[in-house]
Structure 1
């Protein structure tokens, strides 16, 4: 190599082929071998020319069970130790590219055309990966650009980088992986969108209102079926975004959540329009909705999910998978048996592990003391074991009630009802009983719940009492914060 010629600085990304990495940095062979015995095959010339030629770092991470982020960090550290100057040059080049990409986005927001932005991007680089889009959006937000502004033009961002993103190819996941179910839902959403689009074309060929009325019910049913995609978005918001935030990636999730809400509003408006029968002149709203959903599918499969594959650990994916049972899928039943090693979650020291997190005793006490309901728990032996000590209890309680038989805590006139509830709960014939009464102008809602373990064995009864007078008086909606009412 000419002494004054600059070394090629290949960016170390999940899609980088192992053979290309080792061609530029031969010393990394020893680094890889030291990280996992699986990489010893690289010392075999035949394996290196076959497996190494096609395997990416993402494949290598999966084979060695090393999280891809950790693997890339270790390789970058090894390069920096071996050749600090080259590492600095690579970092400088990457920073310069990021700044140029950010300028393209800023100019787009300031009125530049998509074609102009595409041309500048094509000159800069032939491809861009999902993590770079995430870094760009997050960096712009940290520099002061409102997430709402990025959400407003995020479709144009994807359009500018579309050619580079498409080079990555389709996502490859097993059928028990959480991403697989998101992909299934996307294919179903696309199918429904195609059917709606075909129906719109039929209706649009005629200006006869009679034809619209004839097909209005079909269109309405299709839209209501498509509205199940809200479950898809809700799972992303509650199960995918939190794990991105765990890895300090917050910008893309903020932007995408805003777009979800826009789609929800569009869906609601379209259904109301078609239900009311005023849809013939407003069918463009439905077409806009379909475009929004299809654009979101593209952003998921070319930006969000590839980025998640790059950064999520097995433990993260287990958490994502758990959400399928908590929130459910759109149109499908959850798949079972996610093929990862058992969870190794350990509650932080000083906390009690619960099914959905871990709390200290102090936190548990504060939660029970501030609930807007009264709680009392009676065990399987009909003895009172707990009551919540909120600031405004509906029915007075004192510590002397603990350990007392619940039958002795009620006046004789209501004892028969208490005994019947406990008898039906214990026998498994009933699980809920409720009453509502008015006392001193307060409307009280009192509910009893049978408590059973995972095997269905009766473990006691939970009483929940609430003053719902104010709740019953509410009318309309309040969507904005108002401290004065």
Structure 2
């Protein structure tokens, strides 16, 4: 059998195997018969690159070469892609596994992600890659993990897994929390309870998936150009979450419900495997220490998942968050804006906004039409001077309560000019609880009234 190396250029291969010209023409590479093209472009591109340019499926090329007596030497990545493509075309898992075991003694998890990402670059529909995301786990489990748990497999030579394990062992580190939540889900799935009870409890995994979607996927995609997980795994997360919700709402007791429940719980279990062995090691290999600390701080806004209470990461807690300078902008922990952006944003909000400082001085009114008029000349005046005598005692009482900490807000519902209004007076405090002033928000609620009257 003739062995062909697809890493060589088209010119090199045709020179080595003249009979290749006829095969390539039959596949659609008609320019290969033109000597000028062969001697110019043919010296620069490989068959895989040429197939991509012409939109010819690589699987068709491989099939034609094998049918004509060629043994194709593919890179590990190309072989992985070919296995995934064969699975997607309906070939049995066991049939593909035979070839997989024959050609691989071990496989790096990164190669799986790169293969999926390249397939998307080549135009493979996301839906197909999503399907592969489920199927390839079953394929790789046997060879990659040899059915070991994560704790048993961390002694492998995969550097990313080893690095992820080191981060996991840091008390309070985000990876520690993510891995612990996965351990809790696996324990839940192994419980000797009813399917309905497992489905109900498993819905909490939505919190885990939300953290991935907010904190991990975007950083991998935007900063590091690794978009495979965000394109594939994120969508699968959503499908698992949505199916669990549908099953909880479906009170029927049928074989169809049981089959759906078993299928979605299996998908959730496979996602645990992919996170532990692919996603988290990938994050560990790329994210900086400062990025992990920011992920930790952001993750504090999420509710506990599956009973897992995150530990405190003392190093992240003790480090003060530094705000990068942005010339000509207002810099805050939540971001940075130009004066014009901030002004436009505050004026766009459907509220009348008034801010009175700790010395009871009017400091700010947003612009635009107002039900309660706020003349510009009232800025820098005592707030009490803006109210009639009969109202002033009430205003003083509210602000005094805010200042003392007795109250934090005073909501008021009223009708004015035939329209329902919601007015909320709120104490403004710094992160230490120190009183900074009072904000008054006025919102026309007529739209809500009409909505609920329908």
Gaps of 5+ in 2: 1-48, 50-72, 155-160
The residue number in structure 2 matching 1:186 is 182
Instruction: Say whether the 8 Å CA contact 1:385–1:403 is kept in structure 2.
Output: yes
The residue number in structure 2 matching 1:117 is 96
Matched, 1:455 2:432: yes
Structure 1 distance, partners of 2:226, 2:331, is: 27
Structure 2 distance, partners of 1:400, 1:95, is: 77
* CA distances 1:135-175 after superposition (whole Å, capped 9, x unpaired): 22222223323333322331112222334542792352213
Matched, 1:377 2:355: yes
Instruction: Say whether the 8 Å CA contact 2:362–2:382 is kept in structure 1.
Output: yes
* CA distances 1:361-416 after superposition (whole Å, capped 9, x unpaired): 33322321222322221111111111222x55443333212112222223444434
Cα shift at 1:428: 0.3
The residue number in structure 1 matching 2:121 is 142
TM-score by length of 1: 0.67
Map residues 340-355 of structure 1 onto 2, 5 A cutoff.
342=319, 346-355=324-333
Structure 2 distance, partners of 1:177, 1:96, is: 37
Map residues 386-401 of structure 1 onto 2, 5 A cutoff.
386-389=364-367, 391-401=368-378
Report how many aligned residue pairs link the two structures: 363
Matched, 1:228 2:228: no
Structure 1 distance, partners of 2:370, 2:210, is: 35
Instruction: Say whether the 8 Å CA contact 1:347–1:358 is kept in structure 2.
Output: no
SS at match of 2:402: helix
Seen in structure 2, the aligned counterparts of structure 1 residues 345 and 381 have a Cα distance that, compared at 3 Å, is closer
Map residues 153-232 of structure 1 onto 2, 5 A cutoff.
153-166=132-145, 169-170=153-154, 172=165, 173-174=168-169, 175-195=171-191, 198-200=192-194, 219-220=196-197, 223-232=199-208
Instruction: Say whether the 8 Å CA contact 2:429–2:435 is kept in structure 1.
Output: yes
SS at match of 2:359: coil
Structure 2 distance, partners of 1:178, 1:261, is: 21
Structure 2 distance, partners of 1:111, 1:475, is: 51
SS at match of 1:381: coil
Of 225, 238, 241 in structure 1, the residue corresponding to residue 217 of structure 2 is 241
Cα shift at 1:125: 3.0
The residue number in structure 2 matching 1:267 is 244
The residue number in structure 1 matching 2:25 is none
Structure 2 distance, partners of 1:131, 1:457, is: 50
Structure 2 distance, partners of 1:374, 1:145, is: 51
Structure 1 distance, partners of 2:116, 2:450, is: 44
SS at match of 1:253: helix
Alignment RMSD, CA only?
Answer: 3.1
TM-score by length of 2: 0.72
Seen in structure 2, the aligned counterparts of structure 1 residues 345 and 265 have a Cα distance that, compared at 3 Å, is same
The residue number in structure 2 matching 1:213 is none
SS at match of 1:199: coil
Cα shift at 1:179: 0.7
Matched, 1:300 2:279: no
Seen in structure 2, the aligned counterparts of structure 1 residues 183 and 394 have a Cα distance that, compared at 3 Å, is farther
Structure 2 distance, partners of 1:129, 1:464, is: 56
The residue number in structure 1 matching 2:344 is 366
Seen in structure 2, the aligned counterparts of structure 1 residues 142 and 445 have a Cα distance that, compared at 3 Å, is farther
The residue number in structure 1 matching 2:69 is none
Map residues 48-87 of structure 1 onto 2, 5 A cutoff.
none
Cα shift at 1:433: 1.5
* CA distances 1:81-124 after superposition (whole Å, capped 9, x unpaired): xxxxxxxxxxx9x9943333223323332323322333343344
